[in-house]
Amino acid sequence: MTERTATPATSAIDPAQYREVMGHYPTGVTVVTGTSPDGDPIGMVVGTFTAVSLDPPLVAFMPTTTSGTYSLMRDSAAYCINVLAHDQLDLCRFMAVPRPGKFDDVAWSPSDHGAPVLHDAVAHIHCKPHDVVTAGDHYIVLCEVQAMQVNRPTTPLLFFQGGYGGFNTRGMTAKGDADLIEAVRLAEVARPQAQRVARLLGCEAAVLVAANDHELTVAVTAYGGSAEVLEPLGVRVPLMPPLGEAYVAWTDDAAVEAWLARGSSQDPEVVDKYRRRLQAVRSRGFSLSRQREDDHPRYSDLKDAMREYAGGDLTPARERAVRNVIAASSPFFETIDIEDGESYDLGAIVVPVLAPDGRVALCLRASQLPPRASASVVREWVDTLKQAAEDIAEKLDEGNRSAYTSYLQAMPGDFMM
């Protein structure tokens, strides 16, 4: 390891301005761990960690020249850069305080690479010091990467303007739950019908309402037969092909185009296929999915992807993976004729509830349906759902208009419906 100095001549930049401007640039948060001269684990919070070179693999971090913790670990033969996750703010605060014995109270393990690893960090980057450059009031500690792995592929903790936050991809950013109150109130109008459907069909019945211009949210659920409570209320369903047909089929052209644009394939044939499906859904009055486990992806892969989406905190890489599974699940939603003599394993049947103004106010979805249903049973289910949707629509027209009006007012002006 070499040590050099790279301190330029003094500059006219005021320190307050430097902090103010640099504060507009976010950083991730890492804990750099190493070993003290006594052989004890030691670590400090570092926002100045950065990738430097791919070939050879180099990274760097920048401790202040006055850092007591760094002075204790500067002779460490190895470091581990622990990239903190969005839910490790307490750990960050704890590790940022200069106090001995910090590792008595955090979850960590020794590592073959020489520096302690913190549990539940997003990634561990094992390295050994290569070069230290004194740069003004900081050191640039250049390190050679020995080994590295993603430990937990979740979103990282971010530091920005003195505060902490998390990462949201633009495509999947959801509105805050507080904004959903009116949507939930609207869905409550449909609870008795959802309960009736669940009882009659022996299934899970859910009332879905648009949470924003690209997601529906499950606002009411009811269970009948052997249906189990698998998902909490508030679960989001992305409006992207092939999901959300029963909602989008009744929206205006702009909303349909926005839905199609969210599809992963813009191949004209694929887009055309979705347009035809929307027409079919609209003329039939319902959408339907079939469970198939023999294909790739399997229906259970779609369910897993939707569960992962609903769990939130998706990294862009996981978001792409989830979107790909959803897009590839298109065959489950193919328009089929319900034919006598056939039996059907359905994933879900969804019917829209039309508001007095003709727009879709809610969707009623039956899932966890009994398997191998005959054609006549499937027709009965569809009729029961359509009747329930009409009953809910009547309720919206009668005493519950205000629930719908308040919901529309709570939604942003450019809302898609």
Ligand X SMILES: Cc1cc2nc3c(=O)[nH]c(=O)nc-3n(C[C@H](O)[C@H](O)[C@H](O)COP(=O)(O)O)c2cc1C
Cα separation, 392 vs 417, whole angstroms: 18
Q: Pick the closer one to ligand X by CB: 31 or 208.
A: 31
Decide if residue 96 touches ligand X (CB under 6 A).
yes
Q: In this structure, what token pair is assigned to residue 323?
A: 């979107």
Indicate the DSSP class of residue 10.
P
CA 169 – CA 167 distance, rounded (Å): 7
Using the minimum distance from each CB to ligand X, give the nearer residue, 89 or 408: 89
Is 68 a binding residue for ligand X by CB under 6 A? The answer is yes
Q: Is 48 in the site for ligand X (CB under 6 A)?
A: yes
Q: Indicate the residue among 96 and 417 with the shorter CB distance to ligand X.
A: 96
Phi, psi of 28 (to 5 degrees): -80, 180
Q: Pick from 50, 67, 146, 406 the residue near ligand X by CB under 6 A.
A: 67
> Is position 69 an interface residue for ligand X (rule: CB under 6 A)?
yes
Q: Rule CB under 6 A: is residue 29 a binding residue for ligand X?
A: yes
Does 44 engage in binding with ligand X (CB under 6 A)?
yes
How many residues make contact with ligand X (CB under 6 A)? 16
Q: Residue 128 CB, nearest distance to ligand X (Å)?
A: 19
Hey, how many other C-beta atoms are within 10 angstroms of the C-beta on 242?
21
* Least separation in angstroms between CB 220 and ligand X: 42
398 by Cβ neighbours in 10 Å (0-12 / 13-18 / 19+) ranks as exposed
Of 70 and 381, which CB lies nearer to ligand X in the complex structure?
A: 70
Least distance CB 114 / ligand X (angstroms): 20
Residue 89 near ligand X by CB under 6 A: no
Residue 47 interacting with ligand X (CB under 6 A): yes
Q: What minimum distance in Å lies between the beta carbon of 35 and ligand X?
A: 15
Residue 69 beta carbon to ligand X: minimum distance, rounded to whole angstroms: 3
Distance separating alpha carbons of residues 264 and 119, to the nearest angstrom: 35
Report how far residue 372's alpha carbon sits from residue 346's, in angstroms, rounded to the nearest whole number: 8
Residue 45, interface with ligand X (CB under 6 A)? yes
Q: Residue 71: which residues within 8 A CB-CB, separation 6 or more? A: none
Residue 84 DSSP one-character state: P
Tokens of 306: 């939707």
Q: Which residue, 58 or 377, has its beta carbon nearer to ligand X?
A: 58
Residues of span 146-175 touching ligand X by CB under 6 A: 159
* 385 touches 346 (CB < 8 A): no
Residues 263/271, Cβ–Cβ less than 8 Å = yes
Residues 320-379 that bind ligand X (CB under 6 A): none
Show the tokens assigned to 264: 């992963």
How many helices (H) does the chain have, and how many strands (E)? Answer: 12, 21
Contacting range for ligand X; rule: CB under 6 A; set: 11-19, 38-46, 190-198, 219-227: 38-46
Applying CB under 6 A, which residues contact ligand X? 29, 44-48, 62-64, 67-70, 96, 98, 159
